[in-house]
Amino acid sequence: MHLSAPASPRAAVMLGHGAGGGVGAKDLVATAEVAQALGLAVVLVEQPYRVAGRRAPAPARQLDAAWTAVAAELRASVLAGLPLVVGGRSSGARVACRTAADVGAAAVLCLAFPLRTPGRPDRPSRLPELEQVTVPVLVVQGERDPFGMPPPGPGRQVVTVAGDHSLAKDVPAVRAAVEEWLTEVLPG
Q: How far apart are the first and last CA of the chain?
A: 27
Structurally, how many domains does the chain consist of?
1
* CATH for 158: 3.40.50.1820
Mean pLDDT score across all residues of the chain = 95
Res. 58 pLDDT band, cuts 50 70 90: confident
The residue range of the domain holding 108 is 2-185
Q: Amino acid identity, residue 68? A: T
Specify the higher pLDDT residue, 1 or 99: 99
Q: How many whole angstroms separate alpha carbon 150 and alpha carbon 115?
A: 6
pTM over 0.85: yes
Which pLDDT tens digit goes with each residue over 60-95? 999 999 999 999 999 999 999 999 999 999 999 999
pLDDT of residue 188: 72
Q: Lowest-pLDDT range, 8-17, 48-57, 63-72, 84-93?
A: 48-57
Q: What's CA 138's distance to the chain center, in Å?
A: 9
pLDDT computed for residue 56 by the predictor: 83
